Amino acid sequence: MILPNKIEPIEPNYHEDDAISLLERWYDEWSNDEDWWSGGNTWDLNIFAYDDENPNDYTINVYGLVKHDDDELLHIDTSNEIDFFELKL
């Protein structure tokens, strides 16, 4: 039996202004992509164009990160939603 790795949540240092700043800075990139990811050191932001009929409608989810005990990499924890926005451009 293989036991799962220990997964340790990382305390997010997220503030709404951080996401807004990231959205402003990378607008040209994410506004031309259906599913764009970026983030900070302790959180990730996913921007998704959710409606084919309204391509300027976006869902923005902010997720916490986790660290597995067997590596140095951080992983997105989509079960840990920190914030949620909807944009209509």
Q: How confident is the model at residue 78, as a pLDDT?
A: 86
Q: Supply the pTM of this predicted model.
A: 0.80
Indicate the domain borders of the chain. Answer: 7-79
> Can you tell me which residue has the tokens 């944009």?
87
Q: What residues contact 8, with CB distance under 8 A and at least 6 apart? A: 66, 67, 68, 69
Write down the pLDDT at residue 4: 56
pLDDT averages per 10-residue partition of the chain, 89 residues: 64 88 93 88 89 83 83 78 90
* pLDDT given at position 70: 66
Give the residue among 20, 13, 60, 66 at the shortest CA–CA distance from 37: 60
| pLDDT reported for residue 28 | 93
